[in-house]
Amino acid sequence: MGHRSCGYRVIKLFDGLSIYKTSTTTNWMMRVWDVNMRQYVIKSSGQHSVVAAKKEALRFVKTVLTAEPILAEEHKFTAHCLMMLAKETKRAHKGERSIGSVKAMRWCIEAPGWGMLDRFGARDIRKIGTADFVAYMGFIDQQKPHWAPSNKNTILATFRNIMKNARDQGVISTIPETPRAKQQDNPRPFFRFYPLVKKQDDEVQTLIHAARQMAKEKTVVRWLPVTDELADVLEFIIYTFVRPIASELYALRHRDITIADDPKRLILTIRDGKTGRRISNSMPQAVDIYRRCLARHPGHSDDDYIFYPTYQNRITAGKNIQRQFKFLMEKFQIVKIDGSQKPHSLYSLRHTAICMRIIHSEGQVNIFNLAKNAGTSVDQIERFYARNLPLSAEMARNLQS
């Protein structure tokens, strides 16, 4: 059936499909209702004959109905890559994340040939699951067979951050499982201390003494004078277990610290640590260190940083400490490489803190409590610390008690 009105003729074939001709068109036009787009799709049939136009319209409706729906921008994997990178770049500029980690994420996303944009492109992020990720990592193994597990785990972390962004935006409800690449366990480097070595060979005491000696000599490293604050930073890591990173040690403000008694300790609020938010208890020595910080900056506010508060960019503050630490290690020749075959770094102090608790407690420390306090896991402590420490006579007696 068709009808004419003011030079406009319409023939309805069925609901949602019709052909029509106006006084200005030679060929019949086709009009199809697209359910996904919720609008009409109009196209010329290229046919002058009604019969031919009807046949063309029936072919045309099949292409419209079977076509992939246009994907909304918020559902595209690419969109969440860009959102995540923008968010992490902003955090890096504020000193809350290292620039290097953001560069690593961008590398995983944009690398030609194997990057995530090449692999997933404009795909619907809601339809990307564990099987897709496993297949992608299999592709990476073929393309980069000699890559270390750490490279692959960087890709994993980037993928998870993208999916977390989608979850936080309410686009997906759960993050797909992402199996980690197996890594060879290497002992964490730590400074040898008494009773593992003789008192005169205690590397921790040597390190702290050397830092205070540099402050006494008014040593200058890259135009920045070394003060007693450096020694306090090194000791603070040892007695609080915090990681020397922008989101833990360098992020601590006075409002994050509470002095407590029975037992004497600091209660630290780590707001956005490597493993998330945690409340941590320190060893008693940390209280005296913090009181020296208070005396050093008497006019502080609760929002001021604990260490080097004049540096609002905490990445810069961290780099200055790292440079002074490296200079100290070279100046006093504390460059011994231990059984891990890795040189010492600021992170060695955190590793030392965990090892000291295991040794000084004579095997009685609760490993679960230690792991929770340090923001790690029992598995990590057993794999990287406890298994590589010597079994002292005290620990043997504790085992047999």
Structural domain spans, the chain: 2-66, 74-168, 199-400
Q: For residue 399, what pLDDT band results from cuts at 50, 70 and 90?
A: very low
- CA proximity to 158, closest of 142, 172, 173, 178: 178
Phi, psi of 170 (to 5 degrees): 80, 15
* 34-71 per-position pLDDT tens digit: 776 677 888 899 999 999 999 999 988 888 777 666 67
Tokens 């980037």 — which residue? 158
Distances from the Cα of 62 to the Cα of 32, 56, 67, 236, 329, angstroms: 10, 10, 8, 70, 74
* 145-154 per-position pLDDT tens digit: 888 888 888 9
Q: Which CATH superfamily is domain 199-400 in?
A: Intergrase catalytic core (1.10.443.10)
Q: For residue 6, what pLDDT band results from cuts at 50, 70 and 90?
A: low
For the ranges 32-36, 231-235, 305-309, 342-346, the lowest mean pLDDT is seen at: 32-36
Q: For residue 388, what pLDDT band results from cuts at 50, 70 and 90?
A: low
Tokens 């992608």 — which residue? 136
Contact 343, 337 (CB under 8 A): yes
pTM for the full predicted model: 0.61
Q: Alpha-carbon distance 179 to 173, whole Å? A: 19
Half-sphere exposure (CA, 13 Å, Cβ side) for 5? 5
Dump strand ranges (E) for 26-158: 29-34, 39-44
Tokens 């193994």 — which residue? 141
* 111-166 per-position pLDDT tens digit: 998 999 999 988 899 999 999 999 999 999 998 888 888 888 899 999 999 999 99
Q: What is the mean pLDDT of the chain?
A: 87
Q: For residue 274, what pLDDT band results from cuts at 50, 70 and 90?
A: confident
